[in-house]
């Protein structure tokens, strides 16, 4: 890991307390009603819902869910959003937000369960999910043909236990998968002493393992859970440490093919507030800036990717969902308190989106085209 020199540390120490407590920006909301976002949520009645809303926080569509969900993704060519059940759920709702109707509910093979994440190929043909099979220790990358009733057409190993988030590379040929390394029974973690997280690259057609990288052995409890990928193929990692709260370990990192995982240095006073837990990871529209959430630390950390440096941290209570905004350095944030914000990392402005939707947002937020 890169050492923090004295000048850099003093600069962070002077600036960070101000950024952590910076007041809500007074600038007008820059998002337009033409933008759409989607997230799973929980309402005051304890039931779960999908909500689509525009850039002004106004409801576009909603749909009741059978259970708590995790990620929501949009279909690239149809007015569909897919809502993936939270681990260890086993269903995906496909919802048409223009007609307000359920297209179908996809169910896993008997005995399988989902890890909460999925991807759709750019041509809209295939749905890919990370799943657990009762007959394999390693996770499975399951491929379904959307054009043929979501039938399963292939299944590959993820080459690791507990696969979570996955992303397609820009060329649409390779799936990048975060193997969290945690073996579970229901929601109970049962292998923390021997867990081995990894980041893998898998050919989506053949299932061939193209590359697998791990953190150094002393960081084997830094579970690689969430990721994003830039237009150039660089991967941003967000981790959740399963060891002692007082340990200093990597929580945010970058990876490029053919290289080692490169942890990013988090200032000491910020790192101590993250509670060893990072949630969503997101590049901005340019790939030059990134945001990583820590809902347990009530912080959104902002990063200069070109310099591979920490930029700032902004307080958002229980903020976890992140989606890229329209402009460079801009992000849309959702929180478990039901609030929505835009953050401009260049101008250091946090602006509330005045939503009246009566829900608490779940972990992930997605832009919907």
Which string of DSSP letters, residue by residue, matches 21-54? Answer: TPPPP-SPP---TT-EEEEEEEETTS-EEEEEEE
3-state SS, residue 271: helix
Provide mean pLDDT across the span 176-182: 97
Cβ distance 328 to 346 under 8 Å?
yes
The residue to which tokens 């929980």 are assigned: 42
pLDDT of 16 strictly over 70: no
Provide mean pLDDT across the span 16-41: 60
Provide mean pLDDT across the span 107-115: 97
Confidence at residue 348, expressed as pLDDT on a 0 to 100 scale: 86
Cβ distance 295 to 272 under 8 Å?
no
Torsion region of 122: left, alpha or beta (phi above 0 gives left; psi -120 to 50 gives alpha): alpha
pLDDT of 28 strictly over 50: no
Q: 186 falls in which pLDDT band (50, 70, 90)?
A: confident
Q: What is the pLDDT of residues 142-158, one digit of tens each?
A: 999 999 999 999 999 99
Confidence at residue 11, expressed as pLDDT on a 0 to 100 scale: 34
Provide mean pLDDT across the span 120-143: 97
Which positions ≥6 away from 55 have C-beta within 8 Å? 29, 31, 32, 33, 34, 35, 36, 37, 332, 353
pLDDT of 356 strictly over 70: yes
**Burial class of residue 204, CB neighbours in 10 A (0-12, 13-18, 19+):** buried
Confidence at residue 8, expressed as pLDDT on a 0 to 100 scale: 31
Provide mean pLDDT across the span 48-68: 96
Beta bridge partners of 188: 185
Q: What is the pLDDT of residues 155-167, one digit of tens each?
A: 999 999 999 999 9
Return the DSSP state at 267: P
Provide mean pLDDT across the span 16-20: 43
Confidence at residue 33, expressed as pLDDT on a 0 to 100 scale: 64
In whole angstroms, give the CA distance from residue 12 to residue 103: 50
**Burial class of residue 250, CB neighbours in 10 A (0-12, 13-18, 19+):** buried
In whole angstroms, give the CA distance from residue 144 to residue 201: 19
Strand order in the sheet with 174-179: 163-168, 174-179, 198-203, 209-213
- Residue 270 phi, psi (nearest 5): -80, -45
Provide mean pLDDT across the span 133-144: 97
Other C-beta atoms closer than 10 Å to the C-beta of 170 total 13
Q: What is the pLDDT of residues 227-243, one digit of tens each?
A: 999 999 999 999 999 99
Q: What is the pLDDT of residues 274-320, one digit of tens each?
A: 999 999 999 999 999 999 999 999 999 999 999 999 999 999 999 99
Cβ distance 253 to 225 under 8 Å?
no
Cα-trace Rg, the chain: 19
In whole angstroms, give the CA distance from residue 20 to residue 40: 27
- What mean pLDDT, rounded, does the chain reach? 91
Cβ distance 117 to 130 under 8 Å?
yes
């Amino acid at each position: 890991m890169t050492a923090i020199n004295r000048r850099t540390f003093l600069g962070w120490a002077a600036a960070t307390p101000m950024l952590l407590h910076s007041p809500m920006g007074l600038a007008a909301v820059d998002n337009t009603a033409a933008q759409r976002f989607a997230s799973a949520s929980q309402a005051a009645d304890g039931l779960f819902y999908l909500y689509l809303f525009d850039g002004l926080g106004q409801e576009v569509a909603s749909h009741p869910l059978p259970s708590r969900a995790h990620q929501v993704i949009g279909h690239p060519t149809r007015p569909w959003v897919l809502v993936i059940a939270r681990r260890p759920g086993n269903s995906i709702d496909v919802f048409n937000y223009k007609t307000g109707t359920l297209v179908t509910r996809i169910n896993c093979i008997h005995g399988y369960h989902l890890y909460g994440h999925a991807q759709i190929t750019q041509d809209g043909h295939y749905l890919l999910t990370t799943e657990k099979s009762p007959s394999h220790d390693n996770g499975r990358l399951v491929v379904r043909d959307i054009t043929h009733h979501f039938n399963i057409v292939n299944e590959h190993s993820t080459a690791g236990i507990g696969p979570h988030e996955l992303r397609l590379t820009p060329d649409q040929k390779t799936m990048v998968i975060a193997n969290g390394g945690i073996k579970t029974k229901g929601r109970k973690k049962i292998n923390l002493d021997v867990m081995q997280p990894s980041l893998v690259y898998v050919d989506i057609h053949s299932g061939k393992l193209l590359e697998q990288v791990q953190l150094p052995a002393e960081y084997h409890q830094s579970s690689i859970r969430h990721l994003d990928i830039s237009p150039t193929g660089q991967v941003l990692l967000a981790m959740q440490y399963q060891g002692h709260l007082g340990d200093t370990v990597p929580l945010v990192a970058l990876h490029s093919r053919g290289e080692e995982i490169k942890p990013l240095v988090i200032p000491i006073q910020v790192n101590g507030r993250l509670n060893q837990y990072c949630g969503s990871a997101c590049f901005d529209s340019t790939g030059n800036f990134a945001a990583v959430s820590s809902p347990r630390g009530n912080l959104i950390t902002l990063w200069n990717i070109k310099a591979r440096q920490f930029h700032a941290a902004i307080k958002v209570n229980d903020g976890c969902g992140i989606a890229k905004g329209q402009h460079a350095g801009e992000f849309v944030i959702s929180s478990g308190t039901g609030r929505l914000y835009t953050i401009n990392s260049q101008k250091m402005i946090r602006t509330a989106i005045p939503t009246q939707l009566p829900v608490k947002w779940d972990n992930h937020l997605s832009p919907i085209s």
